[in-house]
Chain A
Amino acid sequence: MLAKKSLKLVMFLVWAFILLFPMLAVKDGQFVWERLLKVMAVLTASGLLVLAYTSIPKRTLKPGFTGKGLPFRIPPKGIIAAGIVFALVFPWLTSNYARDVAINVLIYISLGLGLNIVVGLAGLLDLGYIAFYAVGAYTYALLNTHFGVPFWIALPIGCIISALAGTIIGYPTLKMRGDYLAIVTLGFGEIIRIVLNNWDKVTRGPNGILGIKAPGVFYPTIGEGGIHFAHFYMKNLFWLYYLILVIAVIVMVSVYRLNTSRIGRAWMAVREDETAAELTGIHTTRMKLWAYILGSIFAGFAGAFFAAKVRYVNPSSFVFLESALVLCIVVLGGMGSIPGILLGAAAIIVLPEVFRDLELYRMAAFGGAMTLMMVFRPEGLIPAKPRKPDDEGEGKVSLSEEGARAHG
């Protein structure tokens, strides 16, 4: 048995050597052996570890911690309350750097939840999701720099324009088969980026748009002759943190409500079996369009905030890798699961900050992790719980869901 496994390991190493040799050991016409040897040493060591681990007889391994032996169960409400308190006091306790990271996490939470509607709930793979984020960001940037429109007015306009963009791309594509949809949304994302990059007159091309104003607020002050309203720009990260926190909470609550609503059930029915959903009376194309539109509204929301936070937009913030990153959050966390996405966003944004020195390896690690995740745990870190078909008082909808289940 051990001999067989060792042979397998040797074969693997030979394969790895063949594959890694040209890329790692030859550079600019010269042999550079060090890197190849380093990588091979790491691979050999990890291979030997796996070999050692798997060749220990099963009985000597103690049963690990399964999480079931906890003496008490933390009620979900308690976790939520603790989370809220933590989120509220967070900026008081930390530095600007930590606030910045937290703001990014919250932006990506909003994006992830928005994409979750499209991918996780309705089962439509969207690889150009960042385009709607770009639309939101550029809408605010352009309205603000050209017409001086304040953030609070630009925010709904940005959402509306993102929703329009979602409709425009969604309407012709939603009749397509799933993987065609993926490639078309990818193409659409690229189109938006290329247009932003080249439409110099409006978007100033790769230079981007500078001089965007931060969101302003009026607050009352009591001075001579009664109450005055003073104006104040939320420029520092402290206030911006609370702003994005509010946005993220709104998104979270909306997605949660959508999830448990009729429309959410319809989406899941469409995801599980489109034909069956159609037969139970769900207008599938309309439902898919709704998923698209709502998803793009949330992205527009996040995009407008992003422009207001950075006060500068340029097309390089909206490349395909960003779409992949958001998708990675959704997949890593568990499709359709809100706590999963919170965890996924935190992991994807915070881990690279922790391993700053290894930044170069970040994207490669992402890619590898995505594949490994799909191979070993396709349901994500915190999988969405399948809902029971008979929740009280919603007999009509549960019927359609059961229909979908039976076929799915």
Chain B
Amino acid sequence: MDVFLQQVVNGLTLGSIYALIALGYTMVYGIIQLINFAHGEIFAAGGYLGVITLSFLQARGVLEHHPILGLALAFFLAMVYCAFMAVALERIAYRPLRGASRLSLLLSALGMSIFFSNGMMLCQGVYDKAYPHFFVSGGFHLGGVVITQMQIFIMVGSILLMVALNLFVNRTRLGKAMRSTAQDRVMSAILGINADKTIVTTFVIGASLAAAAGVMVGLYYGSVRFDMGFIPGIKAFAAAVLGGIGNLTGAMLGGMIIGMVEIFAAGYLASEYKDVFAFVILILVLYFRPTGIMGMQVDDTRV
């Protein structure tokens, strides 16, 4: 039982990270019907920016005295940086292709994904970059179950971010504009909503969530790698599809489910095959319920 509960805690931690990445996929897909392959790389770039900031602060001795401040700065810089990156990405690779075929758009995204991951390798090296060992200390024992501070931090942090996102999307003008553009771009343009601006906002929000997830992953696992965005990216997309693409709550739920499945498959079945299970679930969901758990009926358009 203890092992089971421990797995639940681990699964929720991993799931909240997937959920954060999945939100970016689902929002972008909802608004321009694009699988933004480069999203995984943005997540990795967030992880890198976290390690760059933290090791920079550590080298100057700032981190020892103000760990919380340093952490906050790392998150802030990573999120801002990735937001800029996403704006550039949208401007260079996606905006010129608006109105082009979906296949071209998808290939453009794929190209950017390859470009970013290799660019990161060229800039920061092939090997793992270790995070400073400042924050992986301590934990709570709840009757045999250990919850580390890091896990609590990740879960609370992601929940806060998701709540903020929900408030933004549902309560602000810009959020309303996003929803209406996702629903019908032409009609909302007629009503005076600037589609380009809204799309950029979507990219910015998705990228900063992914960046936060990247820093969290770096802190949780202790290191980042230039190609770390690929597999989590696919899994997060699987989570987005599982929850129903275009649906924010669905993406969160899907992320949690994928995280749980992965942890349980690794714990009880075979850890080498944990990635396989996520894909198998994706295939099964798409086969039996292509709209996902919470998705609505979408139009039957193809690439």
Q: Which A residues lie at the B interface, using CB under 8 A? A: 15, 18-19, 22-24, 26-30, 35, 119, 123-125, 127, 172-173, 175-184, 186-188, 190-191, 194-195, 197-198, 274, 320-321, 324, 327, 331, 360-361, 363-364, 366-375, 378
Contact = CB atoms under 8 A, between A and B. Distances in A.
Contact of A367 (B33, B113, B303): B113
Contacts of B301: 177-178
A179 B115 contact: no
Nearest to B120: A23
Given A18-B84, A183-B241, A370-B111, A194 B276 contact: yes
Given A173-B286, A182-B106, A374-B107, A367 B112 contact: yes
B59 A184 contact: no
28 contacts: A23-B120, A28-B59, A29-B56, A29-B59, A119-B103, A173-B287, A175-B287, A177-B301, A179-B35, A179-B102, A180-B286, A184-B286, A186-B234, A187-B283, A188-B279, A190-B279, A194-B272, A195-B273, A198-B270, A364-B115, A364-B122, A367-B118, A369-B111, A370-B111, A371-B111, A371-B112, A375-B92, A378-B97
Contacts of B303: 123-125, 177-179, 181-182
B114 interface: yes
Contacts of B102: 178-179
B279 A375 contact: no
Interface in B84-123: 84-85, 88, 92-93, 96-97, 100-108, 110-123
Contacts of B111: 366-374
B280 interface: yes
B58 interface: yes
Contacts of A23: 45, 48, 52, 119-120, 123-124
Contacts of B302: 123, 177-178, 274
A372 to B, nearest CB: 8
Given A173-B283, A374-B111, A22 B93 contact: no
Contacts of B215: none
Contacts of B108: 370-371, 374-375
Contacts of A176: 286-287, 290
Given A321-B114, A367-B115, A172 B107 contact: no
Interface in B165-222: none
B252 interface: no
Given A125-B103, A182-B35, A194 B275 contact: yes
A27 B121 CA distance: 12
A77 B41 CA distance: 47
B114 A366 contact: yes
Given A177-B290, A371-B115, A194 B104 contact: no
Interface string B261-303: 0000000001011011011101100110010000000101111
A324 B111 CA distance: 9
A32 B238 CA distance: 39
A364 B104 contact: no
Contacts of A175: 287, 290
Contacts of B18: none
B257 to A, nearest CB: 16
Contacts of A119: 103
10 A-B pairs with the lowest CB-CB distances in the bound complex, closest first? A370-B111, A178-B303, A367-B115, A367-B114, A29-B59, A187-B279, A364-B118, A371-B111, A178-B302, A374-B108
B106 A125 contact: yes
Contacts of B280: 191
B88 A27 contact: no
B81 interface: yes
Contacts of B124: 23, 27
A293 B56 CA distance: 53
A174 to B, nearest CB: 10
B92 A378 contact: no
Contacts of A374: 93, 97, 100, 104-105, 107-108, 111
Contacts of B231: 190
Nearest to A361: B122
A19 B303 CA distance: 31
A187 B282 contact: yes
A370 B107 contact: yes
B297 to A, nearest CB: 12
Given A186-B234, A274-B302, A370-B108, A29 B55 contact: yes
Contacts of A188: 279, 283
Contacts of A191: 276, 279-280
B260 interface: no
Given A183-B241, A371-B92, 12 more contacts: A23-B52, A23-B123, A29-B60, A177-B298, A177-B302, A180-B286, A183-B238, A187-B278, A198-B270, A366-B111, A374-B100, A374-B105
A370 B114 contact: yes
A24 B84 CA distance: 16
Contacts of B75: none
A327 B114 CA distance: 13
A125 B113 CA distance: 17
Nearest to A325: B114
B230 interface: yes
Contact of A180 (B120, B121, B123, B290): B290
A19 B101 CA distance: 29
Nearest to B230: A320
A190 B275 CA distance: 8
B43 interface: no
Nearest to B278: A187
B283 A28 contact: no
Contacts of B273: 194-195, 198
B49 interface: yes
Contacts of A26: 52, 56
A402 to B, nearest CB: 20
B84 A368 contact: no
B101 A370 contact: no
Residue among A125, A173, A369, A372 with the most chain B CB within 10 A? A125
B33 to A, nearest CB: 8
Given A179-B102, A363-B118, A19 B97 contact: no
Contacts of A363: 114, 118
